[in-house]
Amino acid sequence: MRVKQALFLVGGKGTRLGSLTAATPKPLLEISPGVTFLDVLIEQFARHGFSDIILLAGHMAEQFQSRYHLRQHGGATMTVVCEPEPAGTGGALHAARDYLDDWFVMSNGDSYFDINLRSLTKPPVAGTIGRLALRNEKNVSRFGTVQVQGPRVTAFREKQAHIEGGGLINAGVYLLNRSVLDAIPPICSLERDVFPGLARARQLEGQVFDGYFLDMGLPDTYQLATLEMPARRQRPVAFFDRDGVLNQDHGYTHRVADLAWIKGAREAILLLNEAGYLVIVVTNQGGIGLGHYGLADMQAFHDRMQNDLANDGAHIDAFYHCPYHPNATTADYRHSNHPDRKPNPGMILRALDEWPVRLAGSFLIGDRDSDAMAAARAGIPGYLFDGVDVLATVSRILQDQKR
C-alpha cells in the first residue's frame, strides 16, 4: 500500500491573524520572499511521494485557484476543490467525496509537522479507518488530549487546566480511509463528531511523532514561522548510487523482477528519513542510451523500489538518472563526456540546486571510484560501500557526523 493522495484544509478565515489576513488567506502568507506557508507543506508532501494534492478551499478560494489549480508542484498535481459554504472539517471532506482514493492523508493547511509521512501511512491493521499523527505537549491547557493503548486511540478528553507531565494531542494530520465518509453528515467536525465514535468502535489508530511543529494561526506564531521555517526547510542530503549499493548490480539492471535489495539498504533509507535527511539517488543509466531498455523500464523499477519502501514507512525523495553514453545507439543520447555522467558531478550539482539543501552533513555513498570522484567534484564527502551492510555504513557516517 502506497498512499499517493493528500488533502489540505485551507478554507479557514484566519481571523486571529487580524489585518494580515484581510486580503490574503492564512496558508498563503509568505514565510520568505515568494514562498508561502502552504508551499512548504506541499513541498513536504510531494517529496514523500504524494503525487495528487487536493486543496479544500472556501474563504478566498480564487486565490488558491489562481496559484495552484491544475499546476505541478514538486511532482504533485494540484487540484482546488471549493466548498460551497463552511461546513466544518467533515463537511470539507464531504465536498471532496468524488475525488477520494481509498486511502488518503488529510492535513490542516495552517500547521506544519515535520514528520516521516511514510511512517504515518504504513499499512494499518484490518478494520482500521484512520490513523492520527499525535504529539507530546507539555502545556495542554489549550488542547483536548488523546488517550492511546498500543496503536489504538481509545478516547478523547476535553481541555483541562493542567496534566502533570503533559499529554498527547492531535497534530491535525490524518491517514483516512474513504469509508470514513459513511460516518460523516454533510456538516460536521471530524475531531468533535466523528473521531470519538471511531475510537469507541476500535477503528482509529494513533501514532506519536516528535518532529518540529508549528501552528501559524496567531500573529506570534506566524512571526515565528517566518523566523524558523526557512532554515527548517534546509536538509542535508544522503546521495546514493543505485546499482551495487541499494540493489544488486546484475549489469544494466532494469527488470522489476530483478530488484534484489542489498542488505540494510531499506533500513538505512528509513533511518535517514527519520533523521530528517533528503534521500536522493544519482544513477548512471547508460543502458538507456545503449538501447538495452527504455525510460519506462527504469521508471517501473524505481516505482517498485518506492512501493517496497512504503511498506517499511520509508521513501526516496528523488531519482536523478543519466541516460547518456559515449557509444549510445541514438544520437540524442550519444555524448563523449556528458556533464551528468559520473564521475562528472552534474546530477549531484543539479540536485543541490533544485532542493533546499544544507551542505553540512550531506554525503554520497557509491560502490565505484567514479561515484566517489563525482562527490568530490561536487564538494561533498563520498564513501565507498564495502559491500556488506548499508545500514552499518550509514550508521557509521551519522555517528561520525555527531562527533
- Smallest distance, Mg ion to C-beta of residue 246, A: 9
243 in catalytic set: yes
Interface segment toward Mg ion; rule CB under 5 A; list 27-35, 145-153, 171-179, 241-249: 241-249
CB 244 within 8 A of CB 368: yes
List the strands of the sheet with 363-366, edge to edge: 318-322, 278-284, 237-240, 363-366, 382-384
Task: Provide the residue type at 229 as one letter.
Answer: M
String of contacts with Mg ion for each residue 352-371, x by CB under 5 A: ---------------x----
- The number of helix segments (H) and strand segments (E) in the chain equals 12, 19
What is the Cβ-side half-sphere exposure of residue 238, based on CA atoms within 13 angstroms?
28
How would you classify the pairing of strands 103-108 and 167-177? antiparallel
What is the Cβ-side half-sphere exposure of residue 124, based on CA atoms within 13 angstroms?
26
Interface segment toward Mg ion; rule CB under 5 A; list 63-71, 235-243, 299-307, 309-317: 235-243
Scanning residues 137 to 196, which ones bind Mg ion (CB under 5 A)? none
Interface segment toward Mg ion; rule CB under 5 A; list 20-28, 237-245, 303-311, 383-391: 237-245
Distance CA 195, CA 170 (A): 11
Which residue in 39, 243, 267, 340 binds Mg ion (CB under 5 A)? 243
Distance CA 233, CA 211 (A): 13
> How far are the Cα atoms of 71, 94, 293, 379, 394 from residue 11, in angstroms, in the given order?
19, 14, 47, 44, 42
With contacts defined by CB under 5 A, how many residues of the chain interact with Mg ion? 4
- Smallest distance, Mg ion to C-beta of residue 245, A: 6
- Smallest distance, Mg ion to C-beta of residue 251, A: 11
Return the number of the residue (207 or 285) whose C-beta is nearest Mg ion.
285
Interface segment toward Mg ion; rule CB under 5 A; list 80-88, 242-250, 357-365, 376-384: 242-250
CB 320 within 8 A of CB 282: yes
CB 192 within 8 A of CB 170: no
Distance CA 125, CA 32 (A): 41
Give the orientation angle of helix 369-378 with respect to helix 346-354, to 10 degrees. 50
Return the number of the residue (184 or 290) whose C-beta is nearest Mg ion.
290
Residue 120: its H or E element: helix 117-120
The catalytic position among 241, 340, 367, 371 is: 241
Return the number of the residue (241 or 267) whose C-beta is nearest Mg ion.
241
Q: Cell numbers at residue 255, please? A: 527488470
Return the number of the residue (144 or 244) whose C-beta is nearest Mg ion.
244
The catalytic position among 39, 110, 114, 243 is: 243
- Smallest distance, Mg ion to C-beta of residue 385, A: 8
- Smallest distance, Mg ion to C-beta of residue 235, A: 24
Interface segment toward Mg ion; rule CB under 5 A; list 40-48, 58-66, 240-248, 352-360: 240-248
- Smallest distance, Mg ion to C-beta of residue 153, A: 45
For the chain, the farthest-separated pair of C-alpha atoms sits apart, in whole angstroms, at: 72
Assess 244 for contact with Mg ion (CB under 5 A): yes
Q: Which residue is nearest to Mg ion (CB)?
A: 244
Return the number of the residue (167 or 366) whose C-beta is nearest Mg ion.
366
Return the number of the residue (124 or 287) whose C-beta is nearest Mg ion.
287
Return the number of the residue (51 or 370) whose C-beta is nearest Mg ion.
370
241 in catalytic set: yes
Scanning residues 11 to 50, which ones bind Mg ion (CB under 5 A)? none
How would you classify the pairing of strands 237-240 and 278-284? parallel
Q: How far is CA 370 from the centre of its chain?
A: 30
Return the number of the residue (13 or 250) whose C-beta is nearest Mg ion.
250
Neighbouring CB atoms inside 10 A of 345's CB total 21
Which residue in 39, 241, 267, 317 binds Mg ion (CB under 5 A)? 241
- Smallest distance, Mg ion to C-beta of residue 297, A: 18
- Smallest distance, Mg ion to C-beta of residue 255, A: 17
Q: What residues does 173 pair with on adjacent strands?
A: 107
Q: What is the DSSP letter of 58?
A: B
Assess 326 for contact with Mg ion (CB under 5 A): no
Q: What residues does 340 pair with on adjacent strands?
A: none
Q: What is the DSSP letter of 190?
A: I
Q: Which residues bind Mg ion (CB under 5 A)?
A: 241, 243-244, 367
Annotated active-site positions, please? 241, 243
